[in-house]
């Protein structure tokens, strides 16, 4: 870290690597600046001449800040970002000039066939385009000007994670402005969706990482028995930061702030070596871009501190995994948070309508929300005792529940109002109690003025959940508007609609403990859908009623949905296949030989003892017992290896993407579990210095 940043106040360099509104105001002609701002605020297209002017100003600014290259920065379906760097150089007679045109800013070409495209690649040309997203600021990374872009095929099908999110934000704005008009609001022009994503991650020592093939190849440990100390003492959550972790966080903050990312809250998480970073929330699209950059920088900066940042959802079995809480809300361009209940929610019809649209959407389209968080990594976490169950429900808290109950029953709400907290010490301030208590177990919790979706995995892009949520919400609000606009008496119709929706959505609300067994029984009774793994949940993607709302809201076409389903299922199969092959490699080449050689050492010890005079009466009972136990387990290990090899081969012979994914899920994953159980039992019996990789206790407590 440079010294000036160490000592400088963050406001002096915040956003210094971003071509943001301030920079544009100072370097663009007034008319062009206003055109860009209109594009950002209203989504109106930018005229071509204005784009030329912006491109030139961007280049001047980037070059002045040390850049030599530019890239369209996009988010293909691989889940990570992609970039292809071009120098600004253009040859002229006798030399070069630095050049960057509006055309290069607006559009880039890329070979779409090298990125996942599902069925689209087979049907259409390989050509793909990246298209500038003027709503997200260009920024500098590694002396390269990065321009956020969407990615589409030659025929216009979406091949990325950003474009559907942008489309869904348009849908929310359109439908919600329409709703606000019914309440007499003529001013609001635009409604934004906002996200604050809380990012969990692990930091481990680079040396431990380098000694583990599983971490290097798959991002998680595929073997490893529990350390003697896990999370039972609750001493890591909010605990003191070690110096190395603190240095990492400070440097990360500085780099994020330079990129205009509002990194705000940092703390140790529940598991040893686990941490969290939460930014201040912002518009969904920008939050999604920022979250990608945050993950990238976490990995890079960790390395500078001799650490490795693990973003996998479940790096260590038996230890809490990592998620990404997605705080979702709606705001208007006149500053209202549409999820703010206010002091008297029972009279706040606009809030109640928004809430009902949300609840109805979640109830009707729960499988879509479930699949928006589906991945092989997240399968290891969801439904465990540290993460939300795989069944979607909503927590609204007691206060709101009473409001809904009162509206439904038509009885007045008594004694409602925010309580004040008194800590019993006069010198300490009194403060108001939140409308909802914290419920850490619900997949979707109302937290005062926003909904927190807790199912997302730590490595996931937030785009999918948000475009799904936005689509569902817009669909419901549109249906409400269709009904209410036709009504003769708005207030009566509104009241009837609320009562009906409250009745219809009861089953999706659950305010209790989502980790308990009773809830699972209750889910069954209520008939709530449960898709325990990625494969079952992704299969739902192209159900006719789901395709209908994506098409209605202009977010995804049927072809785009089918392609996404294929890509994600294929990605699942490949992930499991790589993990399974890595397990085989480690088990055969590293674990098995160690077991055999240690057995031999024990046998040698028995033989040596047997050479001693019988008169000494030396017992070989310990060695005998160990040899016997280890031999049995080693035989089991060999069997499990052969079994896994067979299952991988069989899954590989399946034909369709769906058959393959199903085989990996149904046969390969259980075979991996069997192999792991045996190997982990052996780890407990073999001397530490002979075991081929570092144990959990060393990895988790060594930073
Ligand atoms: P907790 O751990 O209690 O969930 P944090 O402070 O870790 O709380 O994170 C809360 C997150 O919610 C932050 O990213 C914050 O910016 C975000 N947030 C707060 N208000 C809103 C809102 N209206 N819309 C979206 N996100 C919000
Ligand atoms: Mg949270």
Ligand 1 contacts CB of residue 196 (under 6 A): yes
Is pLDDT of 237 > 80? no
CB of residue 449 inside a 6 A radius of ligand 1: yes
pLDDT in tens, 676-695: 999 999 999 999 999 999 99
Residue 418 has pLDDT above 70, yes or no: no
Rounded to whole angstroms, the Cα distance separating 133 from 84 reads 17
Q: What is the pLDDT of residues 160-193, one digit of tens each?
A: 999 999 999 999 999 999 999 999 999 999 999 9
Asked whether 329 lines ligand 1 (CB < 6 A), one says: yes
Per-residue pLDDT band at 203 (split at 50, 70, 90): very high
Asked whether 241 and 696 are in contact (CB, 8 A), the reply is no
Q: 3-state DSSP: the chain helix, strand, coil percent, rounded to 5?
A: 50, 15, 35
- What's the mean per-residue pLDDT of the chain? 92
260: left (phi over 0), alpha (psi -120 to 50) or beta: left
Identify the pLDDT of residue 6.
Answer: 66
Confidence label for 486 from pLDDT (cuts 50, 70 and 90) = very high
Q: Which atom of ligand 1 is nearest to the CA of 262?
A: 16
Q: Who has greater pLDDT, 506 or 424?
A: 506
| CA-angle at 685, arms to 681 and 688, nearest 5° | 110
Average pLDDT over residues 318-339: 96
| CA pair distance 388, 396, nearest whole angstrom | 16
The closest-lying atom of ligand 1 relative to the alpha carbon of residue 279 is 14
Q: Which helix (H) or strand (E) holds 73?
A: strand 69-74
Q: Higher model confidence: residue 690 or residue 231?
A: 690
Radius of gyration of the chain from Cα atoms?
28
**Antiparallel, parallel or unpaired: β 263-268 and 274-279:** antiparallel
* Over residues 99-125, mean pLDDT: 77
| Residue of 172, 281, 324, 448 to test ligand 1 pocket, by largest number of atoms within 8 Å of CB | 281
Question: In this predicted structure, what is the pLDDT of residue 34?
Answer: 94
Q: Is the CB of 325 under 6 A from ligand 1?
A: yes
Q: What integer is the mean pLDDT of 602-612?
A: 97
Q: Which two tokens stand for residue 580?
A: 């399974």
* Confidence at residue 124, expressed as pLDDT on a 0 to 100 scale: 47
> pLDDT-derived band of residue 198, with 50, 70 and 90 as boundaries?
very high
- Given the structure tokens 């973003």, which residue do they identify? 311
| Residue identifier of the C-alpha nearest atom 13 of ligand 1 | 196
**Distance (Å) of CA 160 to CA 139, 163, 166, 435, 467:** 20, 6, 11, 38, 12
CB distance 361 to 403 below 8 Å:
no
pLDDT at 261: 97
Is 231 a residue whose pLDDT tops 50?
A: yes
* CA–CA separation, 396 and 450 (whole Å): 11
Give the per-residue pLDDT at 269: 84
| % pLDDT > 70, the chain | 95
Query: Is pLDDT above 70 for 121?
Result: no
- Domain borders along the chain are 10-160, 168-556, 573-700
Q: What is the mean pLDDT of residues 76-96?
A: 89
- Which ligand 1 atom minimizes the distance to the CA of 325? 4
- Nearest residue to 286 (alpha-carbon basis) of 40, 23, 32: 40
- Max alpha carbon distance in the chain (Å)? 107
CA distance 418 to 341: 12
DSSP state of 193: E
- pLDDT per position as a tens digit, 241-300: 889 999 999 999 999 999 999 999 988 888 899 999 999 999 999 999 999 999 999 999
Residue 358, number of CB atoms within 10 A of its CB? 25
> Rounded mean pLDDT of 193-221?
98
Contacts for 599 with CB less than 8 Å, ≥ 6 apart:
627, 630, 631, 634
Q: Is the minimum distance from the CB of 198 to ligand 1 under 6 angstroms?
A: yes
Looking at residue 515, what is its pLDDT?
Answer: 79
Backbone angles phi and psi of 353, in degrees to 5: -65, -45
Handedness of CA 487, 489, 494, 497 (dihedral sign): negative
**Structure tokens belonging to residue 407:** 């509206």
Q: What's the whole-model pTM score?
A: 0.94
Residue 323 Cβ < 6 Å to ligand 1: no
The more confidently predicted of residues 633 and 6 is 633
Which structure tokens are listed for 506?
A: 């009861």
Q: Find out whether the beta carbon of 340 lies less than 6 Å from any atom of ligand 1.
A: no
Ligand 1 touching residue 437 (CB < 6 A)? no
Q: Is the CB of 278 under 6 A from ligand 1?
A: yes
From residue 139, give the alpha-carbon distance in Å to each of 15, 61, 148, 254, 437.
9, 10, 8, 15, 39
- Residue 506 DSSP one-character state: G
Name residues whose C-beta falls within 8 Å of residue 487's C-beta, 6 or more positions apart in sequence. Answer: 493, 494
Cβ 466 under 6 angstroms from ligand 1: no
Q: How far is the CA of 395 from the centre of ligand 2 (A)?
A: 14
Name the CATH topology of 573-700.
1.20.120
CATH of domain 168-556: 3.30.590.10
Q: Which atom of ligand 1 is nearest to the CA of 337?
A: 23
CATH 3.10.20.70 fits 10-160, yes or no: yes
Least Cα distance to 494 among 308, 648, 347, 334 occurs for 347
* Mutate which of 322, 450, 456 for ligand 1 pocket (most atoms within 8 A of beta carbon): 450
Q: How confident is the model at residue 44 (pLDDT cuts 50, 70, 90)?
A: confident
Interatomic CA distance for residues 374 and 455, integer angstroms: 9
What is the rounded distance in angstroms from the CA atom of residue 353 to the CA atom of residue 359? 10
C-alpha closest to that of 453 among 81, 150, 193:
193
Average pLDDT over residues 498-522: 91
> Cα(198) to centroid of ligand 2, in Å?
6
SS (H, E, C) 511-562: CCCCCCHHHHHHHHHHCCCECCCHHHHHCCCCCHHHHHHHHHCCCCCHHHHH
């Amino acid at each position: 870290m440079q010294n000036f940043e160490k000592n400088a106040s963050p406001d002096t360099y915040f956003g210094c690597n971003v071509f943001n509104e301030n920079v544009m105001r100072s370097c663009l002609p007034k008319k062009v600046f206003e055109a860009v701002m209109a594009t950002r605020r209203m989504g109106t297209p930018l005229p071509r001449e204005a784009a030329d002017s912006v491109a030139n100003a961007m280049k001047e600014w980037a070059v002045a800040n040390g850049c030599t290259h530019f890239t369209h920065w996009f988010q293909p379906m691989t889940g990570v970002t992609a970039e292809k760097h071009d120098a600004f150089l253009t040859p002229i007679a006798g030399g070069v000039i630095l050049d960057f045109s509006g055309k290069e800013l607006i559009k880039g070409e890329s070979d779409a066939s090298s990125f996942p495209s599902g069925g689209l690649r087979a049907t259409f040309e390989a050509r793909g385009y990246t298209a500038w997203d003027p709503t997200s600021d260009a920024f500098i990374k590694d002396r390269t000007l990065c321009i956020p872009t969407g990615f589409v095929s030659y025929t216009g099908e979406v091949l990325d994670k950003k474009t559907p999110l942008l489309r869904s934000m348009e849908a929310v704005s359109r439908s919600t402005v329409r709703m606000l008009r019914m309440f007499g609001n003529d001013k609001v022009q635009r409604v934004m969706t906002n996200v604050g994503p809380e990012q969990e991650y692990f930091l481990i020592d680079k040396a431990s990482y380098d000694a583990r093939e599983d971490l290097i190849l798959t991002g998680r440990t595929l073997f490893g028995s529990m350390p003697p100390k896990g999370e039972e003492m609750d001493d890591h959550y909010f605990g003191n930061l070690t110096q190395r972790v603190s240095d990492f966080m400070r440097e990360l903050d500085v780099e994020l702030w330079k990129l205009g990312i509002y990194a705000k809250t940092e703390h140790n998480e529940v598991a040893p070596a686990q941490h969290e970073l939460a930014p201040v929330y912002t518009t969904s699209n920008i939050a999604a871009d920022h979250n990608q950059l945050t993950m990238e920088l976490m990995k890079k900066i960790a390395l500078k501190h001799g650490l490795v940042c693990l973003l996998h959802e479940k790096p260590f079995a038996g230890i809490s995994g990592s998620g990404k809480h997605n705080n979702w809300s709606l705001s208007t361009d006149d500053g209202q948070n549409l999820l703010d209940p206010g002091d008297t929610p029972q009279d706040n019809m606009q809030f109640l309508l928004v809430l009902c649209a949300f609840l109805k959407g979640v109830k009707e389209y729960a499988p879509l929300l479930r699949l928006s968080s589906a991945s092989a990594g997240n399968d290891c976490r969801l439904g465990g005792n540290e993460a939300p169950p795989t069944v979607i429900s909503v927590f609204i808290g007691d206060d709101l529940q009473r409001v809904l109950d009162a509206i439904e029953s038509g009885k007045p709400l008594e004694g409602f109002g925010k309580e004040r907290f008194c800590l019993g010490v006069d010198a300490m301030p009194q403060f108001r109690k939140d409308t909802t208590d914290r419920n850490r177990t619900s997949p979707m919790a109302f937290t005062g003025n926003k909904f927190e979706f807790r199912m997302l995995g730590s490595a996931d892009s937030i785009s999918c959940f948000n475009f799904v949520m936005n689509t569902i919400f817009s669909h419901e609000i549109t249906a409400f508007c269709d009904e209410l606009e036709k009504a003769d008496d708005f207030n009566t119709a509104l009241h009837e609609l609320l009562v009906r929706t409250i009745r219809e959505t009861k089953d999706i609300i659950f305010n209790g403990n989502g980790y308990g067994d009773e809830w699972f029984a209750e889910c069954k009774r209520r008939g709530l859908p449960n898709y325990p793994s990625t494969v079952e949940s992704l299969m739902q993607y192209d159900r006719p009623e789901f395709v209908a709302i994506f098409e209605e809201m202009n977010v995804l076409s049927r072809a785009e949905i089918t392609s996404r389903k294929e890509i994600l299922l294929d990605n699942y199969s490949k992930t499991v296949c790589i993990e399974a092959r890595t397990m085989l490699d480690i088990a055969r080449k590293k674990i098995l030989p160690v077991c055999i050689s240690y057995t031999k050492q024990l046998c040698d010890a028995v033989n040596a003892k047997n050479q001693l005079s019988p008169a000494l009466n030396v017992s070989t009972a310990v060695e005998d017992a160990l040899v016997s136990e280890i031999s049995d387990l080693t035989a089991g290990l060999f069997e499990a290896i052969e079994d896994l090899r067979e299952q991988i081969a069989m899954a590989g012979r399946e034909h369709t993407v769906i058959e393959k994914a199903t085989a990996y899920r149904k046969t390969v994953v259980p075979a991996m579990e069997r192999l792991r159980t045996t190997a982990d039992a052996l780890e407990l019996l073999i001397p530490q210095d002979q075991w081929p990789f570092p144990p959990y206790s060393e990895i988790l407590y060594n930073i």
